[in-house]
Amino acid sequence: MLNNYYVTTPIYYVNDRPHIGHAYCSIAADYLSRFNKLAGRKSFFLTGTDEHGTKVAEAAEAASKTSQQFCDEIVKHYGKAWKALGLENDYFVRTTDDRHAEAVVKLLEVLKKAKTPDGQDVIYEGFYEGLYCTGCEKFLTETDMVDGQCPVHKTKPTQLKERNYFFRLKPYLPIIRELVESNKLVILPEERRKEVLGLLKVDLPDFSISRESVKWGIPLPWDKEQVAYVWVDALPNYISAIGYGDDPNQFETWWDKSEVVHLLGKDILKFHTIFWPAMLMAAEIKLPDKLFLHGFFTVNGEKMGKSAGNMIDPIEMIKIYGTDATRYLLLNQYPFGVDGDIKEKDFVVRYNSDLANDLGNLVSRVAKMMVQYTDGKIPQPQENISGQEELMELAVAAPDRCYDHILNFRITDAVNECLKLIRGTNRFVENSAPWKLYKEGNIKEAGGVLYSAAELIRIVSILLSPLMPEKMSEVRAVFGLDQSTLTLDSARRWFELVEGTEVDIKESIFPRLDAKTVPALVKPKRTEADAAKKDSDEATGLITFDQFGAADLRVAEIVQAEKVEKADRLLKLQIDLGTEKRQIVAGIAEFYSPDDLIGKKIVVVANLKPAKIRGVESRGMLLAAKEKGKLKLITVDGDISLGASIG
């Protein structure tokens, strides 16, 4: 095993703020990195953001920002969330960074000169025509789609034909297949490995590495009219962040001489397990050692999304449970790697059961009995205490069992090893009853029970420290322990607590939460009564005063009008609201010529959410009446100020 350990998350797309889906994979990577450091290895943990492409440019335009401004704003939210979650990443890569762009250009230049194993150019020019999903930023085949739509975004792809440069993939497929079959390229879990082997049996086409129509990205060094396509821009983040473009020594340390591990979601399997290895082989760069592809999760039984109202902000969760408990709860709702469901109601149940009751109460109970029975100091260890030998054997074996789980990505199993120790220690204390021993005058034996219980807590504090570093530091402080002995080797040993050390317990490590007072992270859905009332109102067509008052109706004057290109029914209007000028798009070209509209005072809905109509932004809507094929604008009679409110 190489001493250096390099673990990465996927880089997250900046189309919105981070949620617990992003946090899930990032906490897992942080946990793996910290545990390997605990085992004495040097570790480098990378995460970051994917900031180029059409989707980002469109989101920026909709927000009236430049693409870079939009990215900078979203990235600040990632920085805030990752800090709140206690992530100890060594680098945060951004695909808009100059350092990353330089590395991408270097890789592209290497690939442009490279030859395939059968002597052909790796990169060649051609035309691509197909169905393109902007949301996925990839072309789809007919077999990819469901009912003619992208299965992920539920939208109909656009037919697109453009000049591109391509990566010649086919010569590398047999090599990749042999590597996967022999487990020289480790892909986990096993079902993901089988999925990759299934893909390699299909006649996969060469893939495009550039786009002519996309402008927000890194230009190809030999053709500035072409921008590097998302995967050729995004995937190299794993090497750009560790010096591929500018620091050969760093790159050698963390890529060539490290165990390289990619954590990612199963939705980007093909790109990471086939495209990425092929690119690296063509550039004569070592392949990653392991790729672990975790599953998807739902929230309260529903797919996570804005429309469902169940995209949980990790910072809001931290406000309720704290940093370490949030890390614990997100990683332990179901086995790591499989598809699962995050049940919000289980958060408080697991918190109280595992953390407040099992661990928190154990620490408080043992420490308070030491204060009461052993003068507030670590007592002397004793031999021949019933149940102690079995617990010691379980404890000293736990570190290696945990580390084996970590090396094989069985994260939930590693945590469960600790829970077994905690619950075993609680049973040991309960069965040994040191309070009875003390009352009966068996003071040394009572002290021996408490010493063994504290030793087990010490071992647990080490094994859980990669997941809950702050809280385990608090646990260790209770028994006079600092960070100098926070190693896996120390967890393998017994009798590490020093007799006579002061014990200091002030407040509970994990205060119990009242489920009745814990605020909901996911807004509750409407009740049947609410739905019935709404349906009744809708059936009668009635609205409330509040509903009517929500529309901000104002007087505006049309100061300019023109037709919208390639849209026979649309006119683009510039209107004056008195305090501001705006642009709206209206479907009135059949009834009014642009010249007829200049100077008309109309009524507009001023607080309508901006929208794009045929690519033209519209900030408001005019009111008009339509009857029997005729349309008339609602205008204002008499002299009234622009911007005057109606209602």
Note whether 289 and 382 are same-domain residues: no
Average pLDDT of the residues in 356-383: 96
Closest of 244, 219, 211, 349 to residue 6, by C-alpha:
244
What pLDDT was estimated at residue 130? 82
Residue 152 in any domain: the answer is: yes
The pLDDT tens digits for 186-206 are: 999 999 999 999 999 988 999
So what's the pLDDT on residue 119?
97
Q: Is residue 505 part of a domain?
A: no
- Structural domain span for residue 107: 4-295
∠ CA 190-19-101, nearest 5°, is 80
Confidence grade of residue 537 (pLDDT, cut at 50, 70, 90)? low
Q: To which residue do tokens 């020019």 refer? A: 125
Residues 487 and 567 in one domain: no
Q: What DSSP character marks residue 527? A: P
User: pLDDT higher for 625 or 637?
Assistant: 625
For 3, phi then psi, to 5°, come to -70, -35
| For range 520-524, the mean pLDDT | 86
Mean pLDDT for 92-104 is 98
Torsion of CA 512, 516, 517, 522, to 10 degrees: 110
Beta strands in 151-239 (DSSP E): 158-167, 186-188, 207-208, 210-211, 219-220, 223-228
Please determine, for residue 241, whether its predicted confidence score (pLDDT) is greater than 80: yes
Answer yes or no: do 15 and 139 share one domain: yes
Task: Say if CB 415 and CB 467 are below 8 A apart.
Answer: yes
Of all residues in the chain, what percent carry a pLDDT higher than 90? 70
Measured CA to CA, the distance from residue 493 to residue 507 in angstroms comes to 28
Task: Kindly state whether residue 503 falls inside one of the protein's structural domains.
Answer: no
Q: pLDDT by residue (tens digit) across 108-119?
A: 999 999 999 999
Which residues are annotated as catalytic? Answer: 19, 22, 133, 136, 150, 153, 303, 306
Q: 238 in a domain, yes or no? A: yes
Mean pLDDT of the region 305-311: 78
Instruction: Work out whether strand 123-133 and strand 158-167 pair parallel, antiparallel, or are unpaired.
Output: antiparallel
Q: Angle 69-71-77 (CA atoms, 0-180°, nearest 5)?
A: 110
Exposed / middle / buried, residue 88 (Cβ in 10 Å: 0-12, 13-18, 19+): middle
Question: In this predicted structure, what is the pLDDT of residue 439?
Answer: 95
Note the pLDDT of residue 529.
57
Residues 188 and 279 both lie in one domain: yes
The pLDDT score that the predictor gives to residue 636 is 85
CA distances from 127 to 10, 163, 172, 207 (A): 29, 4, 22, 11
Residue 347 banded pLDDT, cuts 50, 70, 90: very high
Work out the average pLDDT over 392-400.
94
Average pLDDT over residues 488-510: 95
> Per the domain annotation, does 479 fall within a domain?
yes
The answer for residues whose C-beta is within 8 angstroms of residue 319's C-beta and 6 or more apart is: none
Q: Give the residue-averaged pLDDT of 234-255.
A: 98
Per-residue pLDDT at 645 exceeds 80:
no
Judge contact between 294 and 25, C-beta under 8 A: yes
How much is the average pLDDT of 68-96?
Answer: 97
The separation between the first and the last C-alpha atoms of the chain, rounded to the nearest angstrom, is 75
CA distances from 4 to 12, 245, 262, 340, 394 (A): 25, 20, 14, 32, 29
Q: How many CA atoms lie within 13 A of 416 on its CB side?
A: 10
Residue 541 has pLDDT above 70, yes or no: no
Sign of the four-CA dihedral 353, 467, 327, 236: negative
Last residue of a domain, one of 266, 295, 324: 295
Neighbouring CB atoms inside 10 A of 6's CB total: 27
Q: What distance lies between CA 439 and its chain's CA centroid?
A: 54
Q: What is the DSSP letter of 293?
A: E
- Do 350 and 291 fall into the same domain? no
CATH number of the domain residue 241 falls in = 3.40.50.620
Do 360 and 263 lie in a common domain? no
Is the confidence at residue 478, as pLDDT, over 60?
A: yes
Compute φ and ψ for 119, nearest 5 degrees: 90, 10
Q: How many domains does the chain have?
A: 3
Same domain, 277 and 363: no
Q: What is the mean pLDDT of residues 521-542?
A: 63
Give the CATH number, domain containing residue 585.
2.40.50.140
In angstroms, the CA 334 to CA 330 distance is: 9
Both 429 and 484 in a single domain? yes
Structure confidence at residue 159 (pLDDT): 87
Residue 239: inside a domain? yes
pLDDT at 8: 98
pLDDT in tens, 283-301: 999 999 999 999 988 898 8
Inter-residue contact 610 to 565 (CB < 8 Å): no
Which of 295, 316, 333 is a domain's end point?
295
pLDDT of 463: 98
Assign residue 371 the CATH number of its domain.
1.10.730.10
What average pLDDT does this structure show over 369-384?
95
What does the pLDDT look like over 574-591, one tens digit per residue?
998 877 788 999 999 888
Residues 21 and 101 in one domain: yes
What kind and span of H or E run contains 298?
strand 297-299
239 with 94, same domain: the answer is yes
367, part of any domain: yes
pLDDT grade for 626, boundaries at 50, 70 and 90 = confident
Q: Report residue 151 as tokens.
A: 């299965």
Residue 642, both tokens? 């622009």
DSSP state of 149: B
Q: What is the mean pLDDT of the segment spanning 6-21?
A: 93
Tally of residues, the chain: 647
Q: Is residue 307 part of a domain?
A: no
pLDDT value for 539:
55
Asked whether residue 272 falls in the same domain as residue 368, the answer is: no
Computed over every residue of the chain, the mean pLDDT equals 92
Cβ contacts of 72 within 8 Å, gap of 6 or more:
none
DSSP letters of 516-537?
TTSPPSSPPPPPHHHHHHHHHH
pLDDT tier at 613, thresholds 50, 70, 90: confident
HSE (CB half, 13 Å, CA atoms) of 556?
28
271 close to 235: Cβ distance less than 8 angstroms: yes
Looking at residue 161, what is its pLDDT? 82
Residues 642 and 551 in one domain: yes
d(CA 259, CA 456): 32
